[in-house]
Amino acid sequence: MLRKTLCVVSVVLLWNSLTLAQASNARARKFDEFGDIEASDLIARLDNFAVMLSSEPSSKGFLIVYRTRRDLPGLSNRYAHRMKNYLTESRGLGPERIVIVHGGVASCLSQELWIVPPNSAPKPREDAYDNSYRPSVYKFDDHYYRIGNDPAEIIYWPTAPANLVGYLESFGETLLKDRKLIGYLVAFRQASHDNPQVTKRMLRTERNFLIREFRIEPWRLKTVDGGYRPWRTMELWIAQPGYRLIITSYRIDRVQRRR
């Protein structure tokens, strides 16, 4: 009986050691890859990704977004946060299990979903690079404000002000890296619904968020009422030292060097 017991214990220990060895040797693997796709297709892919992550509780999900040189700099962060929000809010995954990665600039817009076990890392695209060039004044990103009370929209793709972290995180981090940069918030209200108080509220909400969450100095954040648009919109602009954004007749017309 003792011999049988020892044999069983040995088998169990051997099996556990093999399992741990396999887990330690597990490599990160790309689960899916796609470009700019329809929302229904994206949700289906994220559903499959969530199922796989749930079956591997020790692994993390990496969301890597590569933009093209023609895309706005903030696009990668915005797309990645959109996916993370769905995985955490709608699929119930813990936020600590989802990692966002700005892949840089590549030959085409690409969104990658990776399963990453402990002690492993995703492999970056070979054609990706970091585009450090920035004009004197440039549009960093834009986003829309939800109008209406559709609860499904809040769960799937929350718009501002529900998801300010997703829309402003990259903008705030960019301003933090160089404290000489000036950030412009340009708000447009919807022509058919809104009065001027709407844009004031939009600007106040986002400016206060940047000051509170990213400790951006108030003097570095300029707010502009851009006028009307077919839909409610916020544009994020960045100006290098010595330059400013000029708004004429509710249009962003030109860049002027300060004298």
Q: What is the pLDDT of residue 9?
A: 41
Can you list the alpha helix ranges (DSSP code H) found in the chain?
2-25, 39-55, 75-85, 151-156, 164-177, 196-214
Asked whether residue 179 carries a pLDDT value surpassing 60, the answer given is yes
CATH class label, 27-116: alpha beta
CATH class label, 137-257: alpha beta
Over residues 68-89, the pLDDT tens digits come to 999 999 999 999 999 999 999 9
* CA–CA separation, 98 and 86 (whole Å): 11
Q: What is the pLDDT of residue 193?
A: 82
Q: What is the pLDDT of residue 211?
A: 97
pLDDT, greater one: 239 or 19: 239
Q: Average the pLDDT over 40-66 and give the result.
A: 97
Question: Where are the chain's structural domains?
Answer: 27-116, 137-257
Asked whether residue 259 carries a pLDDT value surpassing 80, the answer given is no
pLDDT, greater one: 96 or 25: 96
As a whole number, the mean pLDDT across the chain is: 85
Q: What share of the chain is helix, strand, coil (3-state, %, to 5)?
A: 40, 30, 30
- Residue the block writes with tokens 């100006």: 239
Q: How many angstroms separate the Cα of 26 from the Cα of each of 117, 123, 145? A: 6, 14, 42
Q: What is the pLDDT of residue 37?
A: 93
pLDDT-derived band at 156 (thresholds 50, 70, 90) equals: low
Q: Of 147, 138, 139, give the one whose Cα is nearest residue 202.
A: 147
Asked whether residue 253 carries a pLDDT value surpassing 70, the answer given is no
Q: What is the pLDDT of residue 191?
A: 85
- End-to-end CA separation in angstroms for the chain: 94
Q: What is the pLDDT of residue 131?
A: 78
Whether residue 240 contacts residue 177, with contact meaning beta carbons closer than 8 Å, is answered with no
pLDDT, greater one: 103 or 25: 103
pLDDT-derived band at 25 (thresholds 50, 70, 90) equals: low
Q: What is the pLDDT of residue 148?
A: 57
Task: Name the helix (H) or strand (E) containing 113.
Answer: strand 110-116
Q: Residue 88: is it exposed, middle or buried by C-beta count within 10 angstroms (0-12/13-18/19+)?
A: middle
Q: Of 148, 71, 80, give the one whose Cα is nearest residue 105.
A: 71
For residue 191, the 8-state DSSP code is T
Angle 198-202-237 from CA coordinates, rounded to 5°: 130
Whether residue 81 contacts residue 165, with contact meaning beta carbons closer than 8 Å, is answered with yes
- Rounded percentage of the chain residues whose pLDDT exceeds 90: 64
